[in-house]
Structure 1
């Protein structure tokens, strides 16, 4: 994860009091990560989620496909 994404994640988690707000306003990648982080948080809290972004669903499926299979006894 890049440093800018780590800083954004810390900000979303309330672990960092400031961030480069202007960067979030102008950086499409940061905007997407912002949405992703909030979607994950909403899901973990059990909030009702309406997914309409097919590319997001595809990226989640791709990420799951890339995860290693762990076999535990």
Structure 2
């Protein structure tokens, strides 16, 4: 589950993207998986506790590293 500010960038990790763009374009069932992303019109401001907890995922944005540019613009 993830929570995002409105209009924040989000999407699949690079490995999932590469696999999807190389796949045959046909219907397929993806079983045993479930994901939720909530987007709010309100600005999400983490608490001091949330920013200092050992559970904080400091490399959250690393899954989007290494994408190649696929278009000019």
Q: TM-score, normalization: structure 1?
A: 0.28
Q: Point out which structure has higher relative CO (alpha carbons under 8 A, 6+ apart).
A: 2
Normalising by the residue count of structure 2, what TM-score does the alignment of the two structures yield? 0.28
* Greater Rg over alpha carbons, structure: 2
Structure with greater proportional helix content: 1
Relative to its length, the structure with more strand (as a share) is 2
